[in-house]
Structure 1
Amino acid sequence: MKSVTGLFVVSVLLCSTISSWSATSYGANISRLGPADFSGVNNFSTFLLDRVSGMLYLGAQDAVIAVDTANLSKRKMIEWSVPEEKRKSCVAKGKTEDDCKNYVRLLEFLGDGHIYACGTFAFDPQCAFINISSFTLETHEDGSIKMETGKGKCPFEPSQHYTAVMAGGILYTAATSNFLGTMYDISRATGIEQERIRTEQSINWLSDPEFVSSAFIQEDEKNNPNGEDDKIYFFFTEVAKEYDLYTKVKVPRVARVCKSDVGGMKTLQRRWTTFLKAQLVCEDRASGQRFNVLTDVFTVQHQPGDPSSTHFYGIFTSQWEREELSAVCVYSLEEITKVMNGPFKELKKTCENWINPEPIPTPRPGQCLNSALKEQGFESSLKLPDKVLTFVRDHPLMENSVVAAPLMIRNGITYTKLAVTLPMTSSGLKQHMATVLHLGTDRGELHKVAVVGPNANLIEEVPLFSAQEPVNNILLYKDEALVGTPFSLVKLPVVNCSLYSTCEVCARLGCVWRHKEGACAIMTHDKVVEAEDLVRQCNKGEGLCSPPVIEMRVENGQRVLLSCVQVSPRPCHWDHPLHSHTRRHNYDLEVHVTTDSVGTYVCLCDEAGRDQPPCRRAEYQLTLDNPSMGGNVAIAGGRHFLASHIIFFVFGFILGGILLFLIYKRQGGMRGGGHSSSTLEKGRDLLPSTDTPQSPSSASLLSEAVPLTEKRNGTLNGHGHNMHPGGHSGRHIYANSSGLKLQESAVNLAEELDGRERAGPDGEEEGLGDGLSEMEEEFSKMPCLRGAPLAQCEESSI
């Protein structure tokens, strides 16, 4: 036991030294602005970056701040507050003092040297114009600020979900449109008055949505033979109306409108004629778990300059999970377009069957204008027939869903913001092989995940802010990341190969490991090298398949965790004594120490492929400390433990028999009293709320992704985050591709594990068996334990 404790202390000191060195080397490349640097201004909600000048504009509470990204100490501020009388009027309507301020939620370039800025302005949204050259608000001759209404352009309340995008100088928004926050619109908010159109006020179109993101996809003029129109996409979560469940089921959606849409002549006047939406499915096929709440989307072109290569990376969580849980799924524009061109969902039904869908009129409802339509005489949406407009008004939802498997899944983590670095540079050169996900958390951390093919590998965790500051903005600019919270701003390198101290992490990121120097460097050539080849080079260069044997002295009854670092997505297995009591935790092995558990434990991983011998990643030699005394105690304790379990089992079996007899007797009395079987059938349980209709799977860019799952601190043997003043330390660099942190100790007491179940010889949990299943079935039939009855069947037309 003393040797184990000593090893643990040495490991902690070693890991602390590595973390301190990482933080120190990283601190030289980081710039930080905290609350004190902004002179009391806070609640930063939106970023706008001028990529030519490098000036970053921050929308805040009662202010707009300009920061030079080359030197964060250079900054300017515009004050834009609410007059005192208006603020008092807002408070008199029942709002709080804080909410009755002006929160700048929208900043967009107008293209004429001005920025269009909109704020909540004490629950009366207003928009103003910022002169970029002088960085001042435009004013009237009397000195008052030039403002126009911001209704439909900016939310009323600071905390309301909202998104906006500028397309060809015209603003498209998705926001609430009334003071109470009960009406929602996706609209063309600026431009010619007659062309300012919006969604229909119908739950068919928008049902209590939470808007997340939007993107303008402009067609390539040179490679657009069909004359397709430009499109705007909106991502949101809404309450599904297609599922007949008592619980409100949330569903992630993508909606599309066309840039040249101006509404209908009679039907859908001043409304979208091209509004279509589809469900996004982010589902782990192995477990069947769906992530149904969308929280952020990042849009990027996989081939710069080619709009058809656009992909959307989304952060998802689950409505049904109590613990923190996040997943990342990616969807291609091609997949979304295919679904939008597919069948429409028919939601009119009777009590028994779905009614056959209405025939689709010609031209196809909801499609954007193109050369073929214009040749048929439909130069504008105003010329579309009423039957086409009526159909799209009643059928905004598509039948098929856009399906993807998660790139990664994290337990114990809530991701709030996402940005993506692609392997290709803007010039088309291969900078590194990995797509890097930059993920902000609700506790002020930045996580980096390298995606190589279908494999996602957590490579780094950087605590940038305090745990009370969630990351709400991430911008990537000139190989740097600008990360913001409501109170602070940090600038740090996007990829810094020199910080990665192991060959494996270096290879997974796509950097090059220099064996002579023992350092990681940026790849300087454009030759495509597979990640597995680099990993094999690591194994050859560092002898990682021949690790030293770790000797451990353990005591009877003790539970220890043997660590195994998995590098490739291929499986690992353990060789261990035949009658040892073990249990797997990912790739680590928990051992319950008995006299049969002593011996050699070897972790073997198939990293080079099936035809190659496995790589020996770890080897442990377990030896009993004081075997005679400890063994007797363990055996005696085990016998008492077994005897007590047998007694409890017999007692429970007798009690269960008595209870079953009473249940059967009671049911017999009920049947004798005239209760029919139909009465009992009314107690049928509802389907679980997560059992939503499964959509057909479609091919996805990374549809065969291997999920990356782990808890907040990697495995439970990882060290915690230690936030030093200033937030510079606590950086974690991972030594493998599966997201495991640098190990504090080769052995970890299993009391730190969440599960404390008794493990059998084959690593399977022991229990009372299936004998309780019949009792549970009878319990479910008891009136007091039945679920709510099913809803009465009614005709509905959604």
Structure 2
Amino acid sequence: MGYGMTLSGVVLVLVPMWCLMSGNCLAATLGGLRDTVLGRETFKSVTNVSTFLLDPSSDTLFLGARDAILALDTKNLNQQPKKIVWAVPEEKRRSCVGKGKTEVDCNNYIRLLEFLKDGRIYVCGTYAFDPQCAFLQRSSFTLETTEDGGVKMETGKGKCPFEPSQRYTAVMADGILYTAATSNFLGTLYDISRATGPEHERVRTDQSINWLNDPEFVSSAYIEQTADSNPTGDDDKIYFFFTEIAKEHDLYTNVPRVVRVCKSDVGGMKTLQRRWTTFLKAQLVCEDKPSGQRYNILTDVFTARHSSGDPSSTHFYGLFTSQWEPNDVSAVCVFSLFDISKVMDGPFKELKKTCENWNSPETVPTPRPGQCLNSALKAQGFESSLKLPDKVLTFVRDHPLMENSVTAAPLLVRKGIKYTKLAVTLMGEAEDRRGAVLHLGTDRGELHQVAVAGQNATLLQEIPLFSSQEPVNNILLYQGRALVGSPLSVARVQAEGCTLYSSCEVCARARGVGCEWSAEDQTCRFTEADPSPGDVVDDALRKCHTQDGRCNPSIRELKVSIGLRILLPCVQLSPRPCSWEYPPHRHTRQHHSDLAVTVTMDNLGKYVCTCQEGGPSIRDPTPCRRAAFFLNLEGPTVEGTAAQAGSRHVLAIYIFLFFMGLVFGAFLLYFVTGKQNVTRPGHRDHDISLSSGKGRELLGSSTTPQSQSSSSVVSEGFKLTEKQNGKTTSTKTTTLLSNHGNGGHHANSYNGARISSNPSNGHPLLANCDTSGTGLKLNSEILVANTLGGRTGVREWVRSMGGEMESGEGHGVDEGLGDRKKGLQDELSSFPMLGLQAPLAPCEESSI
């Protein structure tokens, strides 16, 4: 949770998690917020929930899942949802498998739910790699059928992806569907198209890598002009956001893009027939200029209008990560519609094929290529794109990319955490805008809330909703609440308004976005009063009678033992670096902003984390003290040779047990292998190398097209496999308790807390057996943290310390032997005296 977590906050965390893991309840009520989590007991056999559509008129949330469509009453989530089954016939499923696809993928994954003008819902699914669309009647909640009783369907090619895991986006504009998706069975062709409407008005992109080059589509938005804000009679526009391979760079690098097309575009008469004549794209740059750090992979986009009734006030909040960061990192940048329009009206980028260099073109024909129709063009006789001259169409066909980029600085940067979805609540009215609250879903089933005011971001709350294997894949804001979805669950959480901050400390940290604590009513409420001069959060915290300030936290005393490894948390939401002050005899290592410490007699004492934040100028950061700890021994220690001798005795015992394990494992391997040879004479042994395991890691997820498969929902350590931008990555994590809150601390301090290797003290212990280097080294690690549940730096910490926890079930005797053989090779190869060759690492699929 966030700062000042109360008893109701503890219930908010524990009750839904117990419900999801035990499966004994239909819905779990979340403590003081009185919100609900629906899990497996509610959805039963329904999995792979990936699509949300809200009907405000009936407060109904429609869900698209595998082979099913659900309808939830958002006012009464305890009521059993309605369900429609739309599955693939068995014959078609077998045909799909016969073409080389997996049985799991040869289902019907509902990827599109959109309202039509007549009130029906347009439903499209992958339908065993043959996309199909159907029509849903809202009143009866049934799919329209044909005369023979089957589902009335039409082709979904170009409207819905073929493969469940493919990224795509769609938006409805005046009853017409605009999509960005793959357009062939192999998933090698991509289209941004007008997918419905009159046949002669359906247009799409030109099949050229200048237009689209291996894109991963993320989001889309329809910007409708109003008569009051459109004196030039400009056309409505549709924007698409994606990441693609940049053709203009020498190296194959990912680049985030924004594309703009116009609603009335119907293609050209001769050139660009049935193709976009207004297709223009620009690069999005999310970069912290002082440090030079750039975030180049777009994950999600949320569209927000800052002033009601004014389309020009639209802003796009982009969620980014980086292909150059070895570990998880998430950043949020915001781009205004004004800046995007300015770049689209600027110079074009041109590739001269003689020298392979990009330059600005010398002459631009008239009327300007790529512009939308307006009153001035219509007055010149260009009532339709069909009347545009060929030279204009040829130019826009060859120059879809703009010279300038749309740039922005990050609002926040979080290392060690992977955010998957983003939604934004704007605080205050347009005339008195007080910043925004970002609602961020993680890949571990959590919802984080971050207040952004000016250049500073403050972590308010971290709410665990689902099991750690369920990434958040949908966030929908409705009537002050957030409807949050994962592949297996749906949650309703209070998300808007200051009243959701139940303690003075958390309310004080939201002071920058207009929240103020009322000592009379003991509630947090929105105020239009300007905060006092100086640090507004510190001033608000003083009213809570707390010693902690936003940049002046109190020192937490930690009772530790010699030889323990602890992780001191320091949450930082700025792209600027954090640094630690510690005793001179260091045995430390920094993981993102956190600090790992191996406790010795020489490094006991004070540890202080200081981070750089945005000051008056973006190039003038100000230091902010985020965390302070004091390490002290838990009791008298044994010094000198006796302690060293005891350590050597323990080490000798562990080495003896280790070699005994090796002998037993070798004997077991010999016994099982010999048994197989006896029972199956004349046959060669199966390959027990790593290749079979590698192949499984590269398979698509059987759990959800947007999530990672796992063997156990309740396992504490687990392995995730995902494919992004053509590269398969694996991440092993373990659950930690850590201090969250952008430098603040829980009301229950660490003072006098005892940290030891006894598992009964409530802290998670992780044994570390490091056999690399000069010899065998056995240590016990303890990951120290506050009960606020943070995970900054967790993945890198576990990986770097060698404390990886295994999960998953075996896939047969042969593969089990392969894993056992690999484990023996790894253990033996770590000893210099044993000259065994280490096994080769599995190959990774290239992104090029």
Same fold? TM cut 0.5: yes
Aligned: 1:265 with 2:265? no
- 2:209 is matched with which residue? 203
AA of the residue aligned to 2:545: E
Question: Which one of the candidate residues 738, 745, 762 is aligned to 2:750?
Answer: 745
**Match of 1:522, SS?**
strand
Structure 1 vs Structure 2: percent identity of aligned residues? Answer: 60
- 1:37 is matched with which residue? 42
Question: Which one of the candidate residues 331, 334, 340 is aligned to 1:336?
Answer: 340
Residues 255, 575 of structure 1: alpha-carbon distance in 2 compared, 3 angstrom cutoff: closer
- 1:145 is matched with which residue? 151
- 1:503 is matched with which residue? 504
Per-residue displacement from partner, 1:220-254 (whole Å, max 9, x unpaired)?
21121111110000011111111122xx3111111
* Aligned mates of 1:223, 1:210 — CA distance in 2: 33
Question: Which one of the candidate residues 211, 220, 227 is aligned to 1:221?
Answer: 227
CA contact (8 A) 1:513 1:519 kept: no
Per-residue displacement from partner, 1:490-521 (whole Å, max 9, x unpaired)?
11111475664653421232465546469442
User: Which stretch of the first structure deviates more once superposed, 530-539 or 553-562?
Assistant: 553-562
AA of the residue aligned to 1:267: T
AA of the residue aligned to 2:91: E
Aligned: 1:526 with 2:549? no
Correspondences of 1:69-218 after superposition (within 5 Å): 69-72=74-77, 73-218=79-224
Question: Which one of the candidate residues 342, 345, 350 is aligned to 1:346?
Answer: 350
- 2:73 is matched with which residue? 68
Structure 2 unaligned spans of 5+: 16-28, 617-621, 645-714, 719-734, 757-780, 784-792, 799-848
Residues 299, 553 of structure 1: alpha-carbon distance in 2 compared, 3 angstrom cutoff: closer
* Aligned mates of 1:89, 1:617 — CA distance in 2: 60
Aligned: 1:20 with 2:10? yes
**Match of 2:350, SS?**
coil
CA contact (8 A) 2:37 2:465 kept: no
Correspondences of 1:117-516 after superposition (within 5 Å): 117-245=123-251, 248-351=252-355, 357-424=361-428, 433-495=434-496, 497=498, 500=501, 502-510=503-511, 512-514=515-517, 516=519
Structure 1 unaligned spans of 5+: 1-13, 635-719, 724-729, 757-798
Q: 1:51 offset after TM fit, Å? A: 1.5
* Aligned mates of 1:617, 1:92 — CA distance in 2: 59
AA of the residue aligned to 1:450: A
Residues 371, 741 of structure 1: alpha-carbon distance in 2 compared, 3 angstrom cutoff: farther
Q: 1:88 offset after TM fit, Å? A: 2.5
CA contact (8 A) 1:415 1:439 kept: yes
Residues 340, 721 of structure 1: alpha-carbon distance in 2 compared, 3 angstrom cutoff: farther
* Aligned mates of 2:385, 2:176 — CA distance in 1: 18
Residues 424, 734 of structure 1: alpha-carbon distance in 2 compared, 3 angstrom cutoff: farther
Question: Which one of the candidate residues 49, 56, 61 is aligned to 1:56?
Answer: 61
* Aligned mates of 2:321, 2:69 — CA distance in 1: 32
Alignment: residue pair count: 645
AA of the residue aligned to 1:126: Q
Q: 1:390 offset after TM fit, Å? A: 0.4
Q: 1:468 offset after TM fit, Å? A: 1.9
Residues 581, 15 of structure 1: alpha-carbon distance in 2 compared, 3 angstrom cutoff: farther
**Match of 1:542, SS?**
coil
User: Which stretch of the first structure deviates more once superposed, 585-594 or 50-59?
Assistant: 585-594
* Aligned mates of 1:551, 1:487 — CA distance in 2: 41
Residues 322, 16 of structure 1: alpha-carbon distance in 2 compared, 3 angstrom cutoff: farther
Q: Which has the larger radius of gyration?
A: 1
* Aligned mates of 2:120, 2:422 — CA distance in 1: 28
User: Which stretch of the first structure deviates more once superposed, 613-622 or 482-491?
Assistant: 613-622
Residues 283, 632 of structure 1: alpha-carbon distance in 2 compared, 3 angstrom cutoff: farther
CA contact (8 A) 1:418 1:440 kept: yes
Residues 574, 296 of structure 1: alpha-carbon distance in 2 compared, 3 angstrom cutoff: closer
* Aligned mates of 1:83, 1:755 — CA distance in 2: 48
- Which TM-score applies when normalising by structure 1? 0.71
* Aligned mates of 2:403, 2:614 — CA distance in 1: 43
CA contact (8 A) 2:568 2:597 kept: yes
* Aligned mates of 2:188, 2:355 — CA distance in 1: 31
Per-residue displacement from partner, 1:127-177 (whole Å, max 9, x unpaired)?
111111111112233333222111111111111111110001111011111
AA of the residue aligned to 2:111: R
Per-residue displacement from partner, 1:194-224 (whole Å, max 9, x unpaired)?
1101100111101111111110001121121
**Match of 2:238, SS?**
strand
* Aligned mates of 2:626, 2:119 — CA distance in 1: 63
Residues 569, 505 of structure 1: alpha-carbon distance in 2 compared, 3 angstrom cutoff: farther
Residues 266, 564 of structure 1: alpha-carbon distance in 2 compared, 3 angstrom cutoff: closer
Q: 1:17 offset after TM fit, Å? A: 6.8
* Aligned mates of 1:83, 1:558 — CA distance in 2: 59
* Aligned mates of 2:68, 2:558 — CA distance in 1: 61
Q: 1:262 offset after TM fit, Å? A: 0.8
* Aligned mates of 1:136, 1:91 — CA distance in 2: 29
Q: 1:361 offset after TM fit, Å? A: 0.7
* Aligned mates of 1:169, 1:192 — CA distance in 2: 12
AA of the residue aligned to 1:383: K
* Aligned mates of 1:477, 1:731 — CA distance in 2: 32
AA of the residue aligned to 1:539: R
* Aligned mates of 2:144, 2:559 — CA distance in 1: 76
Per-residue displacement from partner, 1:41-81 (whole Å, max 9, x unpaired)?
22212111012221111112222111111012152222222
- Which TM-score applies when normalising by structure 2? 0.67
Per-residue displacement from partner, 1:522-567 (whole Å, max 9, x unpaired)?
22x4334479335313225515269877778889999988888999
CA contact (8 A) 1:433 1:509 kept: no
User: Which stretch of the first structure deviates more once superposed, 348-357 or 157-166?
Assistant: 348-357
* Aligned mates of 1:613, 1:345 — CA distance in 2: 41
Q: 1:111 offset after TM fit, Å? A: 2.2
* Aligned mates of 2:642, 2:500 — CA distance in 1: 51
Q: 1:739 offset after TM fit, Å? A: 7.1
* Aligned mates of 2:455, 2:385 — CA distance in 1: 42
Q: 1:626 offset after TM fit, Å? A: 6.9
* Aligned mates of 1:59, 1:30 — CA distance in 2: 22
* Aligned mates of 2:396, 2:579 — CA distance in 1: 55
* Aligned mates of 1:603, 1:290 — CA distance in 2: 24
**Match of 2:72, SS?**
strand
CA contact (8 A) 2:604 2:630 kept: no
**Match of 1:86, SS?**
helix
AA of the residue aligned to 1:335: D
CA contact (8 A) 2:316 2:336 kept: yes
CA contact (8 A) 2:287 2:294 kept: yes
* Aligned mates of 2:244, 2:744 — CA distance in 1: 33
* Aligned mates of 1:124, 1:613 — CA distance in 2: 57
Residues 456, 632 of structure 1: alpha-carbon distance in 2 compared, 3 angstrom cutoff: farther
AA of the residue aligned to 2:529: K
- 1:691 is matched with which residue? none
Q: 1:186 offset after TM fit, Å? A: 0.5
* Aligned mates of 2:716, 2:499 — CA distance in 1: 22
* Aligned mates of 1:120, 1:557 — CA distance in 2: 55
**Superposed CA RMSD:** 4.3
User: Which stretch of the first structure deviates more once superposed, 41-50 or 348-357?
Assistant: 348-357
**Match of 1:347, SS?**
strand
